[in-house]
């Protein structure tokens, strides 16, 4: 029989941010790629054409597009996630989650044990700092790796691979 693995502690902002980056990665990459390529196209078309007043405006817009995609957008994303973090203080409450061979066990807000069978989860993802167990494509349970002994991590990954499969 496999062992039980417990994650006990509080979620940090950086882990919350990492989860949101994973959730929004495709959308963010697509937006930033379109803006960067548009900006480069504007700059190249300006440099290749005769210098006119209208071309300088297009050049400025191209630089602004690239600046937004590479500098402003990441800062704006972090600010939005920070705002969510501060609007939902319950996400910072201490928690204890135990991974068992038959599912996941935690304690609810009334100090009652709650068991979720593995069939409630659709898959999991692993990031450098967390395991994300997905109840739906946009609803992961964040389990920071720092909250469990490092020597247990390979066995936890094996348990999750067997029970859920990684996306």
> Which residues pair with residue 141 across a beta bridge?
133
State yes or no: pLDDT of 136 exceeds 80. Answer: yes
**Residue partners of 103: CB distance under 8 A and separation at least 6:** 115, 116, 117, 118, 120
State the CATH class of domain 5-11+93-163.
mainly beta
**Residue partners of 83: CB distance under 8 A and separation at least 6:** none
What band does 50 get if pLDDT is binned at 50, 70 and 90? Answer: low
> Which residues pair with residue 100 across a beta bridge?
103
What band does 59 get if pLDDT is binned at 50, 70 and 90? Answer: confident
In a 10 Å sphere around its CB, with 0-12 CB exposed, 13-18 middle and 19+ buried, how is residue 79 labelled? exposed
Which of 37-51, 111-125, 140-154 bottoms out in mean pLDDT, i.e. has the lowest?
A: 37-51
- Note the pLDDT tens digit of each residue in 69-107: 999 999 999 999 999 999 999 888 888 999 998 899 998
Q: What percent of the chain has pLDDT over 70?
A: 95
pLDDT of residue 1: 43
In a 10 Å sphere around its CB, with 0-12 CB exposed, 13-18 middle and 19+ buried, how is residue 85 labelled? middle
Pairwise CA distance, residues 70 & 64, whole Å: 10
Tell me how far the alpha carbon of residue 32 is from its chain's centroid.
17
Domain ranges within the chain, ordered by starting residue: 5-11+93-163, 16-89
């Amino acid at each position: 029989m496999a062992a039980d693995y417990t994650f006990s502690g509080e979620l940090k902002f950086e882990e919350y941010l990492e989860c949101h980056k994973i959730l929004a990665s495709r959308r963010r990459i697509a937006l930033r790629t379109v803006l960067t390529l548009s900006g480069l196209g504007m700059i190249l078309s300006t440099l290749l054409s005769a210098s006119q007043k209208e071309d300088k405006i297009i050049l400025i817009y191209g630089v602004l597009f690239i600046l937004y995609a590479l500098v402003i957008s990441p800062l704006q994303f972090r600010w939005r996630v920070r705002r969510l973090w501060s609007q939902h203080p319950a996400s910072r409450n201490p928690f204890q989650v135990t991974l068992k061979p038959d599912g996941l066990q935690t304690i609810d807000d009334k100090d009652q044990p709650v068991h979720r069978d593995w069939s409630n989860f659709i898959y999991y993802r692993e990031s450098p700092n967390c395991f994300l167990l997905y109840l739906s494509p946009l609803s992961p349970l964040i389990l920071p790796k720092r909250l469990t002994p490092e020597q247990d991590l390979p066995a936890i990954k094996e348990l999750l691979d067997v029970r859920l499969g990684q996306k």
